[in-house]
Chains A and B, each alone.
Chain A
């Protein structure tokens, strides 16, 4: 008899998901899968819309990384118009991206992931959350709140609002930054650097304490993909795509607009989220990952000094490519430091208050592809337009989707290692959720395709298919 364990909803993630585990009576796990529960159909209803509206429509794919969707669409739509981007607008968009990284990475570490480390994976579920942290360590909670606020203030200054940016116009941006804005934001960005350093100092000993769990959970050796710039620097906004093999060699570097030559998407029967793979190796072998860990793996160095020192220390300890899934948390904090340093750098440059905000553009029939690194990994937007600039075809591949296969493989590997009974304890099932949480997946993003729902659920099935546990 095989029974199904369902963990549902998977919690402390963004969106709706369920884990299904097939277990025999002996306790042997035969399979484990991630079910993504929702699909909303953005690709369909974008058709017929004016392409310049796309950056203001796709922001509603995800409320956590609307900036990334805004910017990937912005880059794509600028290509549709084909007139380039005004220089100051480009700087402001990049700064917007760093603001979002500060908000999103701080959110994930303090509000979603940290409770597993502070209260242990077996801690009381009533306490194992951000409210528990607020009660146990109010000073730390206040620091986390202030840290994230800095990011949102940078986003609001450049995007018009802290959620769902509105400042895109083809080839430009609707508003610039004033000297007053810079005087207000620069000290904040400097404070973010200090908070980043403090967070790393706090977290590194905890990561060491969990090194056994880090080694065990969610292993899925794979290739890694991410943007690099200037020949190999870590990059979040622009640059070329680099794919790194399992042995650390560079498999390929390509221009983002050529993505269709290299990436295809598979449709799982058990999930509304599609699963991209590296075409050359096919669906069976073409697994790759994106996300902070992937970016830290594909880059040769980081252009800001403090983050680069952290990278070298990380690389010495875990090699290149680092494959352990829970190292995502560590990589994310290095990027948090990098984003804070970059925000300081950009706000210190007088060019940020420039006035070259817009350029003249004309609609045309064209294909526009825009790629940025969202906090959770590579994000691809692709639009075809007619000669009036109306969308005829849209394609969006979100960060979390790239990791779909890796999460499924990781869940199965982990389940086979840590589950040996048809009725595992809550803490064991929480470890399954931790595999997913490490990816900081955004199922809101992943389900842009057709609307459904996604708190993480775990379901355990008997072989008969009869559901046994749902949590």
Chain B
């Protein structure tokens, strides 16, 4: 047996769910460990600095100065960098914080939440606590990312497949299908009369949730998950990010909703009612991808 491939792994602004996804390979993880050797992985090991390695894996987004420092360190120490999970790929759910001013967020957390007692409005500052950056950003905003494995969390099978294909020297490819393509629910005509919230109406277990009026992001979301959420009766919220060649997941969803609402064919559709009907468009359409959406971009004028 040849020498094991060295792998370093770190989480930055993250929740540990991606690491649990790796462990959820269960018994299948053990043969993988015959081929690779983790030489740095703080969740499991006490090695405090990342050594040189062939593969680096980073989960989580960049929220503060420490996240950035760790990301740069991992990038420097590895040949191939994998961004694991939707926070590393797109900024993820914590990216919704980008809707708010940093100071407003800190004030909410440390001063005005119901149980906080902080008469002097003190914010944490001591012992070199990391500086918060203005926004949550994905890893690829700061460094070159070689492989993206999206998902919240990514499926264990995808992670296993990526590792094995990299070990074999083969390129790793994400699914080019959408969640809809993988979903077992029956689709017929796309004609939404009214948008329903999850607690409204009685959903039919067999039929497409979107056609029944429930906001489901399956058509605008990359497949690979096996459509687990719609199969379990819950609408897709888009955790695998945009489909192949579709940079704006939210825009794709807005397009899907408006065209199915009859906007394309029916000139009498009440636009105001439709807009009012679409509740929480940011939370529904950009839950995982706000930091990479066009929404927060600014026009930069060319300097002559």
Interface residues of A (CB under 8 A from B): 4, 6, 8-9, 11-16, 18, 20, 33, 35, 37-45, 48-50, 52-53, 56-57, 60-64, 66, 81, 107, 111-112, 125-126, 128-131, 134, 138, 141-142, 145-146, 148-149, 152, 159-164, 166-167, 169-171, 174-175, 259-260, 263-272, 274, 276, 283, 358, 361, 363, 382, 388-390, 393-395, 397, 430, 433, 442, 444, 449-453, 455-457, 459, 467, 470-471
Chain A residues positioned under 8 Å from B29 (CB to CB): 145
Chain B residues positioned under 8 Å from A267 (CB to CB): 110, 116, 118, 122-124
Whether A11 lies near B46 (C-beta < 8 A) is yes
Interface residues of B (CB under 8 A from A): 10-21, 23-24, 26-27, 29-30, 33, 37-38, 42-48, 60-61, 63-64, 66-67, 70, 92-94, 96-97, 99-100, 104-106, 108-110, 113-118, 122-130, 132, 136, 152-153, 197-199, 202-203, 228-229, 231-234, 237, 239, 279-280, 283, 287
Chain A residues positioned under 8 Å from B92 (CB to CB): 60
> Please, which residue of chain B has its CB at the minimum distance from the CB of A34?
B127
Chain A residues positioned under 8 Å from B19 (CB to CB): 63
The complex places the Cα of A15 from the Cα of B249 at a distance, in Å, of: 29
> Please, which residue of chain B has its CB at the minimum distance from the CB of A129?
B45
Which of A9, A175, A390 sits near B48, CB closer than 8 Å? A9
Which of B60, B129, B153 sits near A272, CB closer than 8 Å? B129
Which of B70, B128, B198 has the most chain A CB atoms inside 10 A of its CB? B128
Top 6 closest A-B pairs, CB basis? A63-B17, A174-B233, A160-B232, A451-B63, A455-B42, A166-B234
The complex places the Cα of A272 from the Cα of B233 at a distance, in Å, of: 37
Chain A residues positioned under 8 Å from B232 (CB to CB): 159-161, 166-167, 174-175
Q: Closest CB-CB distance, B152 to chain A, in whole Å?
A: 6
- Mostly, the A contact residues are mixed
Which of B21, B30, B44 has the most chain A CB atoms inside 10 A of its CB? B44
Chain A residues positioned under 8 Å from B279 (CB to CB): 50, 388
Q: Closest CB-CB distance, A109 to chain B, in whole Å?
A: 14
Whether A450 lies near B16 (C-beta < 8 A) is no
Which of A52, A129, A266 sits near B46, CB closer than 8 Å? A129
If the complex has contacts A145-B30, A452-B130, A453-B66, are A163 and B17 also in contact, measured as CB distance less than 8 A?
A: yes
Other A-B pairs beyond A63-B20, A131-B45, 17, CB < 8 Å: A12-B45, A16-B66, A35-B128, A50-B197, A60-B92, A64-B20, A128-B46, A129-B46, A130-B44, A170-B199, A270-B127, A358-B202, A388-B279, A444-B14, A449-B109, A451-B136, A453-B63
The complex places the Cα of A62 from the Cα of B283 at a distance, in Å, of: 19
Q: Closest CB-CB distance, B213 to chain A, in whole Å?
A: 15
Q: Closest CB-CB distance, B63 to chain A, in whole Å?
A: 3
Chain A residues positioned under 8 Å from B125 (CB to CB): 269
Chain A residues positioned under 8 Å from B234 (CB to CB): 56, 160, 166-167, 169, 174
> Please, which residue of chain B has its CB at the minimum distance from the CB of A160?
B232
Chain B residues positioned under 8 Å from A48 (CB to CB): 280, 283
Chain B residues positioned under 8 Å from A129 (CB to CB): 44-46
Whether A12 lies near B43 (C-beta < 8 A) is yes
Whether A49 lies near B114 (C-beta < 8 A) is no
The complex places the Cα of A72 from the Cα of B11 at a distance, in Å, of: 25
If the complex has contacts A44-B100, A50-B280, A166-B229, are A453 and B64 also in contact, measured as CB distance less than 8 A?
A: yes
Chain B residues positioned under 8 Å from A260 (CB to CB): 114-115
If the complex has contacts A45-B99, A269-B125, are A12 and B23 also in contact, measured as CB distance less than 8 A?
A: no
The complex places the Cα of A358 from the Cα of B205 at a distance, in Å, of: 13
Whether B63 lies near A146 (C-beta < 8 A) is no
